[in-house]
Amino acid sequence: MSGTQFLELDGGAARIAYRHTHGAGPAIVFLPGYMSDMAGGKATALFQEAQEHGRACLLLDYSGCGQSSGEFADGTLSKWRDEVLALIKAKLDGPVLLVGSSMGGWLMLLVAEQLGARLAGVVGIAAAPDFTRWGYSDAQRAQLAAGQTVFEDNPYGPEPTPTYAGFYADAETLMRLESEVSITCPVHLLHGQRDADVPWETSLELAEALRSDAVKVTLIKDGDHRLSRDQDIAMLKDAIASFY
């Protein structure tokens, strides 16, 4: 992808791919979903929009995804959170606007909690916090707890979607819907009501859990999980524009 750069972490043991456009803040940081990367439609559209409006924007591939080094099987929320925070520290100054899609919506909460006064806002797209609790059957959770890998049908590609025991074990320590989420900045959650992967009620649960009183939830009655249609992208751009 044109404009891709790399940040070396852990003394060069890891290379995290990213794209960065300079501009006015708050700087948009887009966090893709599970097994997704910065080449996706929403990420690309937001980056182009940021360039056109002179806004700062940062995209990235988690380790084991896209153009970053590493194996996906070694990825965890904690590891990816720390990569995002390292990139923000290295490449951005000033306030940050986190935008998280699906699993990225869980990750954005974990990153947001670490940003303190730099956090300007949060935008969730079919946010999926705690999905290892509600997204698997009891039998699958037992498999994961026993150290096994769970494979599921993948509606977006030919290969099954794996969930690894290491990811699951780490996620079990990072549940956020079971107590108050200590985020006080403005939040806008977008969710399609025809989402077959993440129940739209999850965004309502998250809105209730957030400490912030400045929380807006937009439900798209005919929207699916991806929310990548032209009208969905336009709605996402409008949501982000409201923070400027």
Show which residues are catalytic.
102, 195, 225
The token pair that represents 63 in the structure block:
């380790």
| Half-sphere exposure at residue 55, Cβ-oriented, CA atoms within 13 angstroms | 23
Residue owning tokens 């360039």: 51
| Half-sphere exposure at residue 108, Cβ-oriented, CA atoms within 13 angstroms | 33
Does residue 22 contact residue 93 with C-beta atoms inside 8 Å?
A: no
Helices (H), 36-92: 41-53, 77-91
Burial 181-218 (b: 16+ CB within 10 A, else e): bebebbbbbbbbeebebbbbebbebbbebbeeeebebe
